[in-house]
Chains A and B, each alone.
Chain A
Amino acid sequence: MTTSSRPLRFITCGSVDDGKSTLIGRLLFDSKSLMLDQLDSLGRARGAQTRAGELDLSLVTDGLEAEREQGITIDVAYRYFATPKRKFIIADAPGHEQYTRNMVTGASKSDVAVILIDVTKLDFSGDTIELLPQTKRHSAIAGLLGIKHLVVAVNKMDAIDFDRAKFERVIAAFEAIASSLNLSNFTAVPISALKGDGVVAHTSNTVWFDGPSLLEALESIDLTAENSDSTRADETRSAHIAVQYVTRDAADGHRRWIMGDVADAALNVGDRIRVFPSGALAVVTAINTPRGSTSVAHVDEAVALGLDRQVDVARGDWIIAVRESPSVGAQLSTNRVTATLAWLDNAPLAPGRRLLARHGTRWLPARVSRITRRLDLQSAHWIDQSEGEDAAQTVVHANDIVEATIEFGSALPIADYEISALRGAVVLVDPGTHTTAAAAMVK
């Protein structure tokens, strides 16, 4: 088995009650990622309740005093573990309603979302099962942030005697919301985080299930398709670099190097580039990565570029590879977009409020001018905001997700978030308090 090129980052969505912390503790424990002293401190931790001599694995993940005291998870925590096949980074995001912003935070850097469903909380008496609002909310956020892979972990199967029919009914219910949220790609796994069934391997309790264990599902997710900068990218995208920093060569003080991360497509020595916004043209004569000089830099590599002539370029500008034929999104430069907005600030958004926006490496003034739709997080359906509604109804509160028009103080080389997560993502910041107010994904 070959190992993956980079760590798989996944977010776990669910609340403590769903057994999320227990699941993470189980993954770390069964993959032997917990050290003896960490196990020892589980025994020492205040409030540690061991059930019949078992370790309370949920205590592994509670990092802050208030969390241990209150038995809740407050903030995204990051965990690391490795198996022979892959290295993993877990963004452990709390599932409580008021902490949706943490899920958005964790999901923005995740490849996979693990959606935890507590099977004991569902009502099996009717014809169809109604999934919990939080499951819909988690799935909706994963979809909005462009997470391509979902793993649905149906937990506490031990409490329903590993009932196959009930598991299949849960999956049918999930399929229904997945299609309404445009989430086509998911794997479902029956597990018991508490007892260990289905987490690392399946046991005799789930002989009826012929799919992978949770860990096997995570190990086998293929990221190469979306990382590939040679196939799909060539048809629709050209390389973009948001300029982070420009420096002078220590040996040759006249030579300047332009630094940033390669996005959207590979960049080659010899490529013609255009500087945004100045429009200056140049040819790439040298590329350095942290590994040294190269003729081609791939997506996500941190590069320093040398150009064939002196051009005026500074942090906040863009370097855009010029293509023979027009590429989708590459020419788009606009100061007004429609975007999905996840409002994160405790202070509500009043329409028209001035904000600071970060796009790429540039900061500029912005304004949310109009709210067009609102995502109902209970049903996971979008609801139109009618034109005539008074201002009070269009106020956006913390953890609301809306569709809105955003105006920027100048034009940006922006793209649909689905085409480019780099050019389609905007962070909005309150200019007074500097709190991060919203995540915006351009449509």
Chain B
Amino acid sequence: MTARDAFLASEFHATDTHLNWLEDEAVSILREVFGAFERPAILCSCGKDSLVVLHLAMKAAAPGKLPVPIVHIDTGHNFPEVIAFREALVARHGLKLIVGHLDDSIRRGTIRLAHPLESRNRHQTVTLLETIEANRFDAVVGGARRDEEKARAKERVFSHRDSFGQWQPRAQRPELWNLYNTQLAPNENFRVFPISNWTELDVWNYIARENIALPSIYYTHQRDVVERNGLLVPVTDITPPKEDETVITRDVRFRTVGDISCTCPVASTAANAQEVVLETIAATNSERGATRMDDRANDAAMERRKKEGYF
């Protein structure tokens, strides 16, 4: 029996108590946000991690109402399934939704694109910071995990940002016990990451256990793609095939959902969360490595974006 097989065999016994521990930790962090800040918000891209955070936030508030709005930074390059999902989610739970449109930043002239079809992922930071400023948010909750990427492995749960939204990795506040230092000066804010200690597998196990609804593109579907640099790149109006590329139709699912111009699906026939759990255990590539063009630019791409105010 290989280590992975043995792990697989033991996984379903280990999962429940392990998930309870992670769930308690995340709920506690979210109550800290509700209690310690004047104007908090939850960032929700309707990606799986932010939907897990939203589910945890509703548990943290229950039996009361969710006391904070959700914020979507809309790049304008969305998968239509995701926007439809967002509207249904807001209606079902009576949520307050605030949308920051990247197109508005472009209109204001605070974002200038090099060319019309440029990836908008990097530019999200500007719209995010503008939305934080316009709404005077003092804490913004996100679904980032430390297992995703090396720079994120060094991130605090309560990550202090100055008035420019900058992360200063070399001057982070020590984070001791659960005694979070939530002190802020005017115009500063915190980014808060309740699922910092979760792995991709934890997230999928939790989605399966809690039966959390996700946009349909997280599960297997047929999609036109081209193969490029070892990635399956979806063919859309924004991401047309290059001249020498052949469009093929494959059974795929998305492991992450971001801006259409930088998110790639993986070949998969997993139709539900349990099947994704099995695929995740067997996966040989990390989540971002398999799917994100934005992190491939170089080894420090995420760190540099975070210093600019990205999540």
Interface residues of A (CB under 8 A from B): 1-7, 31-32, 35-38, 40-41, 44-46, 62-66, 68, 74-80, 82-87, 89, 101-102, 104-105, 108-109, 244-245, 247-251, 257, 259-261, 288-291, 300-302, 304, 315, 344, 356, 358-359, 361, 363, 421-422, 425-427, 429, 434-436, 439
- Determine the chain A residues whose CB is within 8 A of the CB of B20 once the complex forms: 6, 290-291
Closest to A37 in B: B289
Give complex CA distance A290, B59 in Å: 6
- Chain B 172-212, CB within 8 Å of chain A: the 1/0 string? 11111111110111000000000011010000000000000
Asked whether A37 lies within 8 Å of B153 as measured between CB atoms, the reply is no
Contacting B184 at CB < 8 Å: which of A89, A251, A304, A434?
A: A434
Question: Is B137 part of the binding interface, using a Cβ–Cβ cutoff of 8 Å?
Answer: no
Q: Which residues of B from 3 to 40 have beta carbons under 8 Å from A?
A: 3-4, 6-7, 9-10, 13-14, 17-18, 20-21, 23-25, 27-28, 31-32, 34-36
Given contact pairs A290-B59, A436-B181, enumerate 7 new A-B contacts (beta carbons under 8 Å): A74-B169, A80-B199, A102-B174, A248-B64, A259-B31, A259-B60, A429-B181
For the complex, give the distance between the alpha carbons of A383 and B17 in Å.
45
* Minimum CB distance partner of A356 in chain B: B183
B299 at the interface (CB under 8 A from A): yes
Partner of A288, one of B62, B67, B147, B184: B62
B23 touches A290 (CB 8 A): yes
Tell me, in angstroms, the Cα distance from A80 to B195 when the chains sit together. Answer: 13
Q: Give the distance in Å from the alpha carbon of A288 to the alpha carbon of B34 in the complex.
A: 18
Contact partners of B9 in chain A: CB under 8 A: 84
Q: A291 — which chain B residues lie within 8 A by C-beta? A: 20, 23
Question: Ordered nearest first, which 7 A-B pairs have the shortest CB separation?
Answer: A37-B289, A247-B64, A245-B35, A6-B21, A63-B150, A3-B14, A84-B6
- Complex formed: what's the CA distance from A40 to B229 in Å? 14
Interface bin, chain B: 35 or more
B299 x A41 contact (CB < 8 A): yes
Q: Would B173 and A436 count as touching, CB distance under 8 A?
A: yes
Q: How far is the CB of A366 from chain B (nearest CB, A)?
A: 13
Inter-chain contacts of B175 with A (CB < 8 A): 105, 436
| Chain A to chain B contacts (Cβ below 8 Å), 9 pairs | A32-B4, A36-B285, A38-B289, A105-B174, A250-B64, A290-B24, A302-B23, A302-B28, A436-B174
Question: Closest A-chain residue to B7, C-beta based?
Answer: A84
What residues of chain A lie closer than 8 Å to B61, measured between beta carbons? 247
Q: Does B115 contact A (CB under 8 A)?
A: no
A434-B185, A436-B176 known; A244 vs B31 contact (CB < 8 Å): yes
Q: Establish whether residues B177 and A421, one from each chain, have CB atoms under 8 Å apart when the complex forms.
A: yes
For the complex, give the distance between the alpha carbons of A108 and B177 in Å.
5
Q: Which residues of A contact B42 (CB under 8 A)?
A: none
**Pair B7/A82 contact, Cβ less than 8 Å:** yes
Q: Counting CB contacts under 8 A, is B108 at the interface?
A: no
Q: State A399–B32 Cα separation when bound (angstroms).
A: 28
A403 to chain B, nearest CB (A): 18
Chain B residues whose CB sits within 8 angstroms of the CB of A249 once the complex forms: 63-64
User: Complex formed: what's the CA distance from A68 to B62 in Å?
Assistant: 45
Asked if B286 is at the interface of the complex by the 8 Å CB criterion, the answer is: yes
Q: With the chains together, A264 CA to B268 CA distance in Å?
A: 47
Contact B176 A83 (CB under 8 A): no
On whether A302 and B176 interact (CB within 8 A), knowing A6-B21, A75-B154, A257-B64, the answer reads: no
Residues in A neighbouring B4, C-beta threshold 8 A: 32
Asked whether any CB of chain A lies closer than 8 Å to the CB of B247, the reply is no
- A75 lies within 8 A of B170 (CB): yes
Residue contact A83 to B3, C-beta cutoff 8 Å = yes
Q: How far is the CA of A388 from the CA of B284 in the complex (A)?
A: 65
Residues of B within 8 Å of A435, CB to CB, are: 173
If A35-B289, A105-B175 touch, whether A304 touches B63 (CB-CB below 8 Å) is yes
Contacts of A257 in B (CB 8 A): 63-64
Residues of chain A lying within 8 A (CB to CB) of residue B28: 244, 260-261, 302
Find chain B residues with CB under 8 A from A64 CB.
150-151, 154, 169-170, 300, 303
- Would you call B305 an interface residue if the criterion is a C-beta within 8 Å of the partner chain's C-beta atoms? no
Contacts of A38 in B (CB 8 A): 286, 289
A344 neighbours in B (Cβ, 8 Å): 174
Chain A positions within 8 Å of B284 at CB level: 35-36
In whole angstroms, what is the CA distance A48 to B22 when docked?
35
Contacts of B170 in A (CB 8 A): 64, 66, 74-75
A5 touches B17 (CB 8 A): yes
0/1 interface trace, chain B 51-77, chain A, CB 8 Å (1 if under): 000001001111111010000000000
CB distance from B42 to the nearest CB of A (A): 15
Residues of A within 8 A of B172 (CB): 75
Interface pair B299/A68, CB less than 8 Å apart: yes
Nearest Cβ distance between residue B231 and chain A, in whole angstroms?
Answer: 11
Contact between chains at B146 and A300 (CB < 8 Å): no
Across the interface, A6 reaches (CB within 8 A) one of B17, B174, B177, namely B17
Contacts of A359 in B (CB 8 A): 179
* Interchain CB contact (< 8 A) of B63 among A66, A79, A82, A288: A288
Please measure, in the bound complex, the distance between the C-alpha atom of A427 and the C-alpha atom of B183, giving whole angstroms.
Answer: 12
The answer to whether B271 has its CB under 8 Å from any CB of chain A is no
Within 8 A of A (CB), among B151-165: 151, 153-154
Closest to A9 in B: B197
Contacts of B21 in A (CB 8 A): 5-7, 300
Do residues B32 and A244 form an inter-chain contact, with CB atoms below 8 A?
yes
Residue of A nearest to B3 (CB): A32
**Bound complex: CA A314 to CA B7 (Å):** 45
B83 on interface, CB distance cutoff 8 Å: no
> Known interface pairs A45-B299, A245-B34. Does A261 touch B169 (Cβ–Cβ under 8 Å)?
no
Cβ of B232 within 8 Å of any chain A Cβ, yes or no, is no
Most buried by B among A5, A259, A421: A259
Question: Are A79 and B10 in contact, with the CB atoms below 8 A?
Answer: no
Q: Is the CB of A76 within 8 A of B7?
A: no
Bound-state CA distance A103–B189 (Å) is 26
A87 to B202, CA, bound (A): 11
B64 A80 Cβ-Cβ under 8 A: no
A302–B27 touching, CB < 8 Å: yes
Contact of A427 among B14, B181, B303 (CB under 8 A): B181
Q: A37-B289, A300-B21, A302-B24 are in contact. Are A104 and B62 (CB under 8 A)?
A: no
